[in-house]
Amino acid sequence: MNKLFSKALVAIVFIFVFNAADSQNKIVVFQSDFGLKDGAVSAMKGVAMGVSPDLKLYDLTHEIPAFNIWEAAYRLEQTVPYWPEGTVFVSVVDPGVGTDRKSVVLKTKTGKFIVTPDNGTLTLIAQSQGIAEIREIDEALNRRKGSQGSYTFHGRDVYAYTAARLAAGAITFEQVGKQLPDSVVSIPYQKATIEGNKLKGNISILDVQYGNVWTNIPADLFKQLNPTFGDTLLITIFHSGKKVYNSKAPYAETFAAVPTGKPLCYLNSLMQLSLALNMGNFAAKYKIASGSEWSLEAVLIKKK
Amino acid sequence: MNKLFSKALVAIVFIFVFNAADSQNKIVVFQSDFGLKDGAVSAMKGVAMGVSPDLKLYDLTHEIPAFNIWEAAYRLEQTVPYWPEGTVFVSVVDPGVGTDRKSVVLKTKTGKFIVTPDNGTLTLIAQSQGIAEIREIDEALNRRKGSQGSYTFHGRDVYAYTAARLAAGAITFEQVGKQLPDSVVSIPYQKATIEGNKLKGNISILDVQYGNVWTNIPADLFKQLNPTFGDTLLITIFHSGKKVYNSKAPYAETFAAVPTGKPLCYLNSLMQLSLALNMGNFAAKYKIASGSEWSLEAVLIKKK
Amino acid sequence: MNKLFSKALVAIVFIFVFNAADSQNKIVVFQSDFGLKDGAVSAMKGVAMGVSPDLKLYDLTHEIPAFNIWEAAYRLEQTVPYWPEGTVFVSVVDPGVGTDRKSVVLKTKTGKFIVTPDNGTLTLIAQSQGIAEIREIDEALNRRKGSQGSYTFHGRDVYAYTAARLAAGAITFEQVGKQLPDSVVSIPYQKATIEGNKLKGNISILDVQYGNVWTNIPADLFKQLNPTFGDTLLITIFHSGKKVYNSKAPYAETFAAVPTGKPLCYLNSLMQLSLALNMGNFAAKYKIASGSEWSLEAVLIKKK
């Protein structure tokens, strides 16, 4: 009796522990360029709920500009670090659907999974989070039943389905498919560098809601210039190598440190050098965009 | 003792089984023309959470153009099949709120529930999924407490509330209200037909994010023409019977099979004949829209 | 044995009851002016999931116009009442980030929690729901580990993190920080009043999707004029005290009670006096906006 009861308790405890011990955590986060006006995102989530109603489905964004792989890469870079270990991300920005681009799952060294076409989407996250292992999705096994005749919605039939099964523990990471070499398709861009008192970097993204300009120059590099609040930066912006903006802006702790409508440099929430207008839209005013073809130089001028 | 313990185990097992045995699965999926800029969608979800915090609330879309019942019908058609049996959908596109249109719950033959005004929203889903049973919502029983003075937000006070109670098992399907005859209010449109080598159909929707044109002509019908990739289709598009587009496009397996900016015909993710420009926006370029008044003809020309 | 078994049962029951007995209910509802195009909202949710994957994360809206504190206040007012007791709201519209505005958690008399900068966001909800207690967030304790160097994303590192910990029961309300006096920063606006047969009030918001104009004049006040459907209201609208619209509109039970395109007065879903065009956009046609500087007068003219 005592033994039977213990076994029951063990069984109950096992259920809880087993859930907790999964390397995946039942969370799936979706990103795409589908927008939210049609049913595509909802169909992906329906497929995931069909795999397991215990999954927790969230969104990164579905407003990636159509076919903009660079921005998909950047949004992952911006967001993945803040989700817990074991989270499975699905990113579907896939202009090459139907071509021979590979469908993969990247496991990062930080224990997160990204399910995506390997078309440049992993450019930034593979560098920053590190590649633990990459596997190619074996579509013979990992494809929604009954979807073999569909040519164009891999997001639903392969990516969402595989991500849900991985997150729910229906398949192990190994069962995704065969392991690939530890490298991903990468988009070239200006890396962050320092020479003397000059920083160079890429305009990796706009903070679209406010029109702020975010670079890939990290606080660590910037701080090698020993900046203090109130110092001035001489900023030059290039599009495909051509100069399109040149002006000074103070390094400020808060937006309110400069008058309304004036430019400032600051460290954004990702601790990267950024440009803004206090209560205004820098990108719109100066026609600045972002992507691999946009770069920036910043020279520090110490206050007297 | 042994008996007591068994009873406890039975009770525990019962809790799990009872949950699993519900025909509803605790999932509610919301659709509306409310947009996401105000609090209306959130108020609906708050009411649902007040019914049971165990519900899982997801969205189809809230960007249905205002009062566009046809598009509401289409989005359900596009999405409902991908959610598991027992899912409860709420669709609130309701220009006739306050008139005598009926508030109903449709149970499909595939075991899904749709809570909606019966105003044409069920046109397509009733045909494709089949009507198992329709019940009229009895507002005397199925209305949020304290909402009797509110004239205009049935979405929150009746539809979301009833859907949540049905999904949570607080009411059975029978308790929704009295059974109605197995028919729904339907919007007329060009059905998909074939005569010789000519297909006719309706432009049921645009793939808005990309500007692709989706018809209601299914792969089964299309394949009666024995098409192979590389064959040409002569496409004619009509708006309210007037010709507005006439041109040729190849039947392609992938978008990349034609040059950038060129038109192609393909089978979309719902396995229906569709039109697109590779890396472009077909609908915007040729001013094509969708709805019950748009139709299309396609004639197959075999490659030599 | 019997005793051991009882203890186990007690433990199991305790787990369920403990969850249910929390004053918080594990639901967190997010509002911001971040939009949904970047990863900011997702990063906030990731931080919350890192606190506890058992939380249920929902949205109010993220489309508050940038820096529009009034609208943030209004959306809370519109929505908070419909969520169950114990729900934790996070509202991040924060033009003063980096200044000395306080970060607070308001507990309403109705048992809901609002985590926000105290910058006017609580203007309406503090009045309507009542202040049970306000506490200032102690950032020494309630700040995401490793975020001390970040100047600008309090939404993620302080507000979302604190809300998640409060909702998950990782901290009590007392552990948020020290109690503040029972008052909040408030934005001045025209309160709803009645003098004879004239009502005055504020245009608190537009029902943006449809262009309807919503006032803060409640049904209770309006009904002191003894209106019946078909009575006429003479409406005058002022912007910063200047008359911008003056016309008559019937008091109608449904939009369909007036011809297409014609104005009507009605009680909206919050039971407040509102203006609309049947099947049209009142605000766009007459260039009416909303906010603290917009007001309205309504004079009742009884039908003969």
pLDDT in tens, A212-237: 999 999 999 999 999 999 999 999 99
Residue B206 lies in a domain: yes
Per the model's pLDDT, the better-predicted residue between B270 and A214 turns out to be A214
pLDDT of residue C149: 63
The percentage of chain A sitting over the pLDDT mark of 90, rounded to a whole number, equals: 80
CA distance A187 to chain B (A): 19
Q: Which residues of C touch A25 (CB under 8 A)?
A: 53
Beta-strand pair C242-250/C232-239? antiparallel
Average pLDDT on B279-300 reads 95
pLDDT band at B259, cuts 50/70/90?
A: very high
Given a cut of 80, is residue B154 above it in pLDDT?
Answer: yes
- For chain C, how many structural domains are there in total? 2
Given a cut of 70, is residue C18 above it in pLDDT?
Answer: no
Tens-digit pLDDT profile for residues A116-127? 999 999 999 999
pLDDT band at A148, cuts 50/70/90?
A: confident
Residue C230 lies in a domain: yes
Q: Choosing among A68, A213, A265, A269, which should be mutated to test the C contact, i.e. which has the most C CBs within 10 A?
A: A269
CA distance A5 to chain B (A): 8
Residue for token pair 């580990």: C145
pLDDT of residue C1: 44
| Interchain CB contact of B45 with A (< 8 Å) | no
CA distance A271 to chain B (A): 30
End position of a domain, from candidates C129, C145, C180: C180
Q: Which residues of C touch B1 (CB under 8 A)?
A: 1-2, 5
Per the model's pLDDT, the better-predicted residue between A8 and C240 turns out to be C240
Q: Do C46 and C146 belong to one domain?
A: yes
pLDDT of residue A15: 45
| Interchain CB contact of B207 with A (< 8 Å) | yes
Given a cut of 60, is residue C137 above it in pLDDT?
Answer: yes
Average pLDDT on B67-96 reads 95
End position of a domain, from candidates C180, C215, C232: C180
pLDDT of residue B99: 73
CA distance A88 to A166: 8
- Least confident range from A131-140, A146-155, C159-168: namely A146-155
- Chains with 3 or more CB pairs closer than 8 angstroms to C? A, B
**Option in B84, B209, B254 nearest A34 (CB):** B209
pLDDT of residue C8: 57
Given a cut of 70, is residue B12 above it in pLDDT?
Answer: no
Q: Do A19 and A131 belong to one domain?
A: yes
CA distance C255 to C211: 13
Given a cut of 70, is residue A149 above it in pLDDT?
Answer: no
Q: Among all residues of chain A, which has the CA nearest to that of B27?
A: A53
Given a cut of 60, is residue A22 above it in pLDDT?
Answer: no
Q: Do C83 and C116 belong to one domain?
A: yes
CA distance C287 to C260: 19
pLDDT of residue A14: 44
State the sign of the Cα–Cα–Cα–Cα dihedral A176, A182, A185, A188: positive
| Interchain CB contact of B268 with A (< 8 Å) | yes
Residue B148 lies in a domain: yes
Return the bridge partners of C201, or none.
Answer: C296
Q: What share of chain A is helix, strand, coil (3-state, %, to 5)?
A: 30, 30, 40
pLDDT of residue C134: 98
pLDDT band at A254, cuts 50/70/90?
A: confident
Q: What is the CATH number of the domain that holds B13?
A: 3.40.50.10790
Q: Is A40 helix (H, G, I), strand (E, B) or coil?
A: helix
| Residue among C179, C23, C14 nearest C102 (CA) | C179
CA distance C262 to C249: 8
ipTM over 0.90: no
| Interchain CB contact of C271 with B (< 8 Å) | yes
- Least confident range from B192-196, C56-60, C119-123, C144-148: namely C144-148
Q: Is C136 helix (H, G, I), strand (E, B) or coil?
A: strand
Q: Do C171 and C233 belong to one domain?
A: no
Predicted model pTM: 0.86
Per the structure, the complete domain to which residue A254 belongs is given by 193-301
Given a cut of 50, is residue B16 above it in pLDDT?
Answer: no
CA distance B142 to B156: 12
Between CA C127 and CA C49, with CA C68 as vertex, the angle to 5 degrees is 85
pLDDT of residue A100: 81
Query: To the nearest whole number, what is the mean pLDDT of chain C?
Result: 90
Residue C185 lies in a domain: no
Average pLDDT on B194-212 reads 92
The percentage of chain C sitting over the pLDDT mark of 70, rounded to a whole number, equals: 91
Q: Do B138 and B230 belong to one domain?
A: no
| Interchain CB contact of A61 with C (< 8 Å) | yes
Given a cut of 60, is residue A9 above it in pLDDT?
Answer: no
pLDDT of residue A210: 86
**Option in C4, C36, C156 nearest A269 (CB):** C156
- Chains with 3 or more CB pairs closer than 8 angstroms to A? B, C
End position of a domain, from candidates C128, C157, C180: C180
Given a cut of 70, is residue B95 above it in pLDDT?
Answer: yes
Query: To the nearest whole number, what is the mean pLDDT of chain B?
Result: 90
Put simply, the answer to whether B2 touches A1 (Cβ < 8 Å) is yes
Put simply, the answer to whether A208 touches C35 (Cβ < 8 Å) is yes
CA distance A269 to A287: 23
Given a cut of 60, is residue B194 above it in pLDDT?
Answer: yes
Per the model's pLDDT, the better-predicted residue between C145 and A55 turns out to be A55
Given a cut of 80, is residue A301 above it in pLDDT?
Answer: yes
Average pLDDT on B271-283 reads 94
Per the model's pLDDT, the better-predicted residue between C304 and B6 turns out to be C304
pLDDT of residue A152: 58
Average pLDDT on A254-268 reads 92
Average pLDDT on C197-201 reads 95
Average pLDDT on A186-198 reads 94
Average pLDDT on A69-74 reads 96
Put simply, the answer to whether A37 touches B9 (Cβ < 8 Å) is no
Q: Which residues of A touch B9 (CB under 8 A)?
A: 8
Q: Which residues of C touch B45 (CB under 8 A)?
A: 58
pLDDT of residue B66: 87
Q: Do B151 and B267 belong to one domain?
A: no
pLDDT of residue A4: 54
Average pLDDT on A130-139 reads 97
| Interchain CB contact of B98 with C (< 8 Å) | yes
Q: Which residues of C touch B153 (CB under 8 A)?
A: 268-269
Q: Which residues of A touch B12 (CB under 8 A)?
A: 12
pLDDT band at C17, cuts 50/70/90?
A: very low
Q: Do C151 and C269 belong to one domain?
A: no
Q: Do C174 and C35 belong to one domain?
A: yes
CA distance A54 to A27: 9
Q: Do A9 and A152 belong to one domain?
A: yes
- Chains with 3 or more CB pairs closer than 8 angstroms to B? A, C
**Option in A5, A63, A266 nearest C152 (CB):** A266
Q: Do C42 and C169 belong to one domain?
A: yes
Residue A187 lies in a domain: no
| Interchain CB contact of B196 with C (< 8 Å) | no
Q: Which residues of C touch A59 (CB under 8 A)?
A: 36, 42
Q: What is the CATH number of the domain that holds A250?
A: 2.40.30.90
Q: Do C142 and C202 belong to one domain?
A: no
Q: Do C201 and C131 belong to one domain?
A: no
pLDDT band at B23, cuts 50/70/90?
A: low
Q: Among all residues of chain B, which has the CA nearest to that of C77?
A: B39
Put simply, the answer to whether C53 touches A205 (Cβ < 8 Å) is no
Q: Which residues of C touch A167 (CB under 8 A)?
A: none
| Interchain CB contact of A57 with B (< 8 Å) | yes
Query: Chain B neighbours among C 25-44 (CB < 8 Å)?
Result: 25-27, 29, 36
pLDDT of residue A23: 67
C10: Cβ contacts below 8 Å, ≥ 6 apart: none
pLDDT of residue A114: 98
Residue B188 lies in a domain: no
CA distance A152 to A96: 10
Residues in chain C: 304
**Option in C56, C61, C219 nearest B53 (CB):** C56
Residues in chain B: 304
Residue A186 lies in a domain: no
Residue A8 dihedral angles phi and psi, to the nearest 5°: -60, -45
Tens-digit pLDDT profile for residues C19-51? 443 467 999 999 999 999 999 999 999 999 999
Where do runs of H (alpha helix) occur along B63-184? 69-79, 123-129, 154, 161-168
Distance of alpha carbon B5 from the chain centroid: 48
Average pLDDT on A9-20 reads 46
Put simply, the answer to whether C60 touches B42 (Cβ < 8 Å) is yes
| Interchain CB contact of C8 with A (< 8 Å) | yes
Q: DSSP secondary-structure letter at A119?
A: S
Q: Is C96 helix (H, G, I), strand (E, B) or coil?
A: coil
CA distances from A265 to A25, A34, A213, B48, B49 (A): 39, 33, 9, 45, 43
**Option in A36, A53, A66 nearest B26 (CB):** A53
Residue C187 lies in a domain: no
CA distance B148 to B138: 13
Burial B271-282 (b: 16+ CB within 10 A, else e): bbbbbbbbbbbb
Q: Give all strands (DSSP E) within B12-87, no chain letters.
A: 27-32, 56-59
Nearest-Å Rg of the Cα atoms of chain B is 23
For residue A198, the one-letter residue type is K
